[in-house]
Amino acid sequence: MYDKLQYVEERYDKLNELLSDPEIVSDAAKLREYSKEQSAIAETVEVYREYKEVQTQYKEAKEMLDDKMDAEMREMVKEEIGELEDRIEELDGRLKILLVPKDPNDDKNVIMEIRGAAGGDEAALFAGNLYRMYSRFAENHGWKTDVIEAHSTGLGGYKEIIFMINGNGAFSKLKYENGAHRVQRVPETESGGRIHTSTATVAVLPEAEEVEIDIHEKDIRVDTFASSGPGGQSVNTTMSAVRLTHIPTGVVVSCQDEKSQIKNKEKAMKVLRARVYDKFQQEAQAEYDANRKSAVGTGDRSERIRTYNFPQNRVTDHRIGLTIQKLDQILEGKLDEFIDALVIEDQSKKLESVEE
């Protein structure tokens, strides 16, 4: 572990030199790349340097301790040694966590896609519940939600809704929501009072910046059409809705939320870039099955990750075996208890690989 830390410190010093180089300063892309890398390791270097300083103090205190000291002085040195040992242990623990590989997407905005799956209208209503839950969660964290595309059922539900959440660190928390969410409840239309089981799927994509994914205009087919509402009826006569097709990958994105064709195209491009970026990431991750299995919530999106049981006011996350009897509060966006537990589980598994 300490060899890794020494390398990180040397790299930090090298980045300092590079960021002072006039050639780098004049190259916006390189300047951004090196600044981002330096920022990512700054805390690790700061803690490592403090760790080395405390180790030096500890060594000096141990050397001071000898039989020639009077009892009072000897007791003071022993007390200092004890405090330094506690500080070394604390810093050692922090360094292990800081060395856990950081997801480069963690600080990004997210694009979420929720679709009603098995269960017809009830699944669409549940998709609406999930959208509201994530909107409230975003609001609780001071993040902004922006709908990109929505296909409502007219009953308060959604066949599909795609939206962006803008906020620093949004992906670091919401990435664990990927997968199939199951609901168990009595539908309002069910006179017999039978509990139905329905599902909705959630996909969480990091917003990809232009510098990260190179999409050429010649590779995109643009189609325009009149936007439509529930049931397919036309809601305006202008060709404001936009459909983009990325020809090399076959990824298709539509957007009709705005009245302006230009704004719809801008929103659709954000989703297209995120989906293409995600497709390449998924393909790369598939080559590292062991890594995918070691992380929480980054596996198959068809995997059932959570059950929401209305009769018992209960929510269970199947990946970590956590059950919370606060379904009403969770649907109001109070997801932190689940997300914090998932972050800890994920970090613990990654920490095992650092300690090996």
Q: What is the pLDDT along the chain (356 residues), one digit of tens a residue?
A: 777 888 889 998 999 999 998 998 898 888 888 898 888 889 889 999 999 999 999 998 888 876 677 788 888 888 899 999 999 999 988 888 787 777 778 888 999 999 988 878 889 999 999 999 999 999 999 999 998 888 888 777 899 999 999 998 899 999 999 999 999 998 866 666 788 889 999 999 888 865 566 778 888 898 888 766 554 444 455 678 888 899 888 888 888 877 788 888 888 888 888 888 888 777 766 654 444 344 444 434 457 899 999 999 999 999 999 999 999 999 999 999 999 999 888 877 777 765 55
CA distance 265 to 49: 49
pLDDT value for 291: 40
> For tokens 């694009």, what's the residue?
111
pLDDT value for 285: 60
DSSP structure class, residue 207: P
Torsion angles phi and psi, residue 232, rounded to 5: 95, -5
Half-sphere exposure of 268 (CA within 13 A, CB side): 26
pLDDT value for 144: 94
CA distance 46 to 52: 10
232 residue type, one letter: G
CB–CB of 148/164 below 8 Å?
yes
H helices of 190-335, in order, are 261-286, 289-294, 327-330
Instruction: Kindly state the helix (H) or strand (E) to which residue 5 belongs, with its residue range.
Output: helix 2-18
CA Rg, the chain, in Å? 26
Closest CA to 99 of 173, 168, 44: 44
CB–CB of 54/108 below 8 Å?
no
Burial 170-204 (b: 16+ CB within 10 A, else e): bbbbbbbbbbbbbbebebeeeeeeeebebbbbbbb
Token pair listed for 49:
């340097």
pLDDT value for 175: 93
pLDDT value for 292: 38
Residue 38 CB neighbour total at 10 angstroms = 17
pLDDT value for 289: 44
Residue 232 CB neighbour total at 10 angstroms = 7
Instruction: Kindly state the helix (H) or strand (E) to which residue 110 belongs, with its residue range.
Output: strand 110-116
> For tokens 């959208």, what's the residue?
131
Half-sphere exposure of 293 (CA within 13 A, CB side): 4
> For tokens 């795609």, what's the residue?
162
Contacts of 232 (CB under 8 A, 6+ apart): none
